[in-house]
A and B are shown apart, each in its own frame.
Chain A
């Protein structure tokens, strides 16, 4: 297989990490919605915890996207 093809394959596999991040964010948001429905006066604290968790999960997905971009633009330009 050509090096360019392998680079493209690697970049595609790298972004699959976004699936895990999206599933995790969905579970977190669902649990947070349940907690708010159970106790609506605690909305502020639940919201803060949820946002903090979402930020950390999104960071993992963005790391994966950064690896993919570096593969395509930096390694792909050399080949």
Chain B
């Protein structure tokens, strides 16, 4: 049994600059997603009616549901936090679902996971500083008692790395298990198992990254 899994990022040279294979695949996936969204905007949005049905109903359900969900956590910052959360979730979903098409999942690259973790960290802190000011944000860290400041500071600083490793490990574990199953029984079992291991894991990770981004922001904004 020969199982080959890429844990280190695979290099890829463009004009002498090493960008990494995952970045090139991510460009391709983002191009497809942006073209799909642009086509939806241009062609389908004109035919929106007062009573939604079909695709319009699905879109309204998703976007409205996410806005209500975000309002439950952050209140008034939901006007710009909900679109960011939805973008993050769509990004993680589309970059991981290409695993079903044979390409290596982009979120299985530690660089992508770290970038997403840092993005969430910056979002949480900028929202917190906008809502309460820099002093208020630091004062919120001393919330139960003043001597908790170093503990809570450490927890907050470790948050992006924790999110990154969570996402990276879950996708990597799915990849390893699917490789092993594919090596053992190449014919019918991988399709059946990948509906559980791959799709379910990706669904959970998408939900988790949205939920954690909202929860940490709600803690910062309070």
Contact = CB atoms under 8 A, between A and B. Distances in A.
A51 B172 CA distance: 22
Contacts of B166: 59, 62
Contacts of B141: none
B173 A73 contact: no
Interface string B168-199: 11101100100000000000000000000000
B204 to A, nearest CB: 8
Interface residues of B, number: 15
Nearest to A55: B208
B5 interface: yes
Interface size class of A (residues with CB under 8 A): 10 to 19
Nearest to B6: A73
Contact of A69 (B162, B173, B208): B173
Chain A contact surface mostly: helix
Interface string B72-114: 0000000000000000000000000000000000000000000
A70 B7 contact: yes
A63 interface: yes
Given A59-B162, A73-B7, A74-B7, A66 B212 contact: no
Interface of B: 5, 7, 162, 165-166, 168-170, 172-173, 176, 208, 211-212, 215
18 contacts: A51-B211, A52-B211, A52-B215, A55-B211, A59-B166, A62-B166, A62-B169, A62-B170, A63-B165, A63-B169, A65-B169, A65-B173, A66-B168, A66-B173, A69-B7, A69-B172, A69-B176, A70-B7
